[in-house]
Structure 1
Amino acid sequence: MESGLNFIDLILKASLLVQLVMLTLVGMSIASWAIIFQRKGIIRKAVNEAKEFEKRFWSGIDLSKLYGEVTSKVTPAAGLEALFIAGFKEFARHKKSNSPSAGMVIEGTHRSMRVALSREVEKLESGLSFLATVGSISPYIGLFGTVWGIMNAFIALGEVKQATLQMVAPGIAEALIATAMGLFAAIPAVIAYNRFAKNVEVAETQYVNFMEEFSNILHRQATNSVEAK
């Protein structure tokens, strides 16, 4: 209990600038933890929804029926569903306009899915840049507070005739707290960023693979449709 009171006492007695540094680091840490929990839930949901949709897609269901099911949902489509809707919608539009070649149909379909892919990946990556920023600059902000605090401690030390460790220790201790807080903010942010970046990369690969497989299916349908004319 005494060490806890001493710790708080050191923060309260720190210089205004060091306190501002600590407050900034606390704010960055809280914001990064909020993003960490939010991203964890969103990415996990995206992975689970992708698995469920792929299971439904490869079950042999008619694509028109699947399109009707997906578009009739109350919640907006996301992930593989968004790619499927973008691709099938463009494919159906080209079929209605009697495009002369299967290549033109698939080119337009593929382009539409690429746009949807970029949007979905952008959603998954939202907030990751903030985590990277916190992870990279927090130690330097903490170090700035430490340098400033130690500088003030030595200035105060020079103003007394007889310096003792008891006089300089509190000033150095309060300065080092800033470095500790900087590391406390940075380490979880870096770990979370690396993990989420890897998860997004895996999800993007899954999206791209589905897009290519879906394009092949649509290409076969477009070819058969052109040959039947």
Structure 2
Amino acid sequence: MEQNRMNAKTLTIASAVVALMLGFGQAVAQDAEGAAPAAAADPFAAPATDPFAAPDPFAAGADAAPAVPVGGPGAIEEPTEEIENPYGIVHMWNEGDMVAHTVLIILVIMSGGSWYIFFVKYWEQYRVLSQSKLTEKRFWTAASLDEGIEQLAKNNVFRNVAERGQQAMAREGGMLTQADWVSMSLGRAVEEESARLEGGISFIASVASTAPFVGLFGTVWGILNALTAIGIAGQASIDRVAGPVGEALIMTAIGLAVAVPAVITYNLLVRRNKVINEKYRSFASDLQTFLLSSKR
């Protein structure tokens, strides 16, 4: 009997020990399962945040620099290096041959000569038109022909015409009548003044018609030399061809720059000469009528 009690007590203690050990093992297993995900994460990583949570505007430090958008007004632009063009008129003059130099000199002479003649002739036309207005006021209001001639300056072209008519009236006898002689003298005087005024304008017309072809010749010669040099070098890349050929086209541009102003100035001078010639003929016709009527 006593032996049975001892056995029951022993079983009870053993059961308690087993239950305690099973409970402790289950707790250790649960702790191991909870620690496994944390051990898989980076131990140096920052704690995760809720992706749906609103950002905290005060979370950043006060000394944090604001981000600058790329290409915005606050962006710092890096300096770009300018590529210098090695080709131009200076390079063409330095590297050109005697033919290129001759063409450039001819174009410069043509341009300078046409502009010089234009300013000289324009001033002469302005002076003649001013003398025409002065003649209408002084000559035809004089009491006599001699007084009217004296009212005009010695360099007045209309005074020259009036003096020629006066000399024709003093001529008597001969194969021609006095009326014919006066008409011929006045007509010759008008033609002389018109020819003197038109002198040099033909040079401007020549420049206007030939300057583009002179420039074109310079361009063809430059392209020929450029292609020959490229063929000798054996390099036909775009940078080897475009530069010399483009530089040769400067000759054509210079020729057009000389010809276009020459055309404009020529037309302007011719139009003003027509107006002046009409004033010459009108004055000569009125003077002839006056001289022949006063002789009667």
1:131-162 per-position Cα deviation (integer Å, ceiling 9, x unaligned): 01111111111111111111111222222333
What is the aligned partner in structure 2 of residue 226 from structure 1?
none
Cα distance between partner residues in 1 of 2:256 and 2:287: 46
What is the aligned partner in structure 1 of residue 256 from structure 2?
183
Report if aligned partners of 1:10, 1:170 keep a CA contact under 8 Å in 2: no
1:103-138 per-position Cα deviation (integer Å, ceiling 9, x unaligned): 922211111111111110011101101101111111
What is the aligned partner in structure 1 of residue 185 from structure 2?
112
What is the aligned partner in structure 2 of residue 214 from structure 1?
287
Verify: 1:90 aligned to 2:163, yes or no.
no
What is the aligned partner in structure 1 of residue 37 from structure 2?
none
Matches within 5 A, 1:195-214: 195-214=268-287
For residue 289 of structure 2, give the secondary structure of its aligned residue in structure 1.
Answer: helix
1:8-38 per-position Cα deviation (integer Å, ceiling 9, x unaligned): 2233222321121011101111111111111
Q: 1:219 to 1:188 in 2, by over 3 A?
A: same
Count of aligned pairs: 213
- TM-score w.r.t. structure 2 length? 0.66
1:180-202 per-position Cα deviation (integer Å, ceiling 9, x unaligned): 11111111111111110111111
What is the aligned partner in structure 1 of residue 130 from structure 2?
48
Structure with the greater alpha carbon radius of gyration: 2
Residue 58 (structure 1) shift: 2.4
Which amino acid in structure 2 is aligned with residue 20 of structure 1?
T
Verify: 1:57 aligned to 2:139, yes or no.
yes
Structure having the higher helix fraction is 1
Aligned-CA RMSD value: 2.3
Report if aligned partners of 2:219, 2:251 keep a CA contact under 8 Å in 1: yes
What is the aligned partner in structure 2 of residue 140 from structure 1?
213
What is the aligned partner in structure 1 of residue 225 from structure 2?
152
Residue 5 (structure 1) shift: 8.0
Which amino acid in structure 1 is aligned with residue 159 of structure 2?
E
Among candidates 170, 174, 197, match of residue 124 of structure 1:
197
Cα distance between partner residues in 2 of 1:4 and 1:133: 34
Cα distance between partner residues in 1 of 2:139 and 2:150: 13
Q: 1:183 to 1:58 in 2, by over 3 A?
A: same
Identical-pair percentage: 31
For residue 186 of structure 1, give the secondary structure of its aligned residue in structure 2.
Answer: helix
Highest RCO, 1 vs 2 (Cα 8 Å, sep ≥ 6)? 1
Report if aligned partners of 2:215, 2:254 keep a CA contact under 8 Å in 1: yes
Report if aligned partners of 1:109, 1:215 keep a CA contact under 8 Å in 2: yes
For residue 164 of structure 2, give the secondary structure of its aligned residue in structure 1.
Answer: helix
Cα distance between partner residues in 1 of 2:145 and 2:178: 16
- TM-score w.r.t. structure 1 length? 0.84
**Unaligned 5+ residue runs, structure 2?**
1-83
Verify: 1:11 aligned to 2:11, yes or no.
no
For residue 235 of structure 2, give the secondary structure of its aligned residue in structure 1.
Answer: coil
For residue 177 of structure 2, give the secondary structure of its aligned residue in structure 1.
Answer: helix
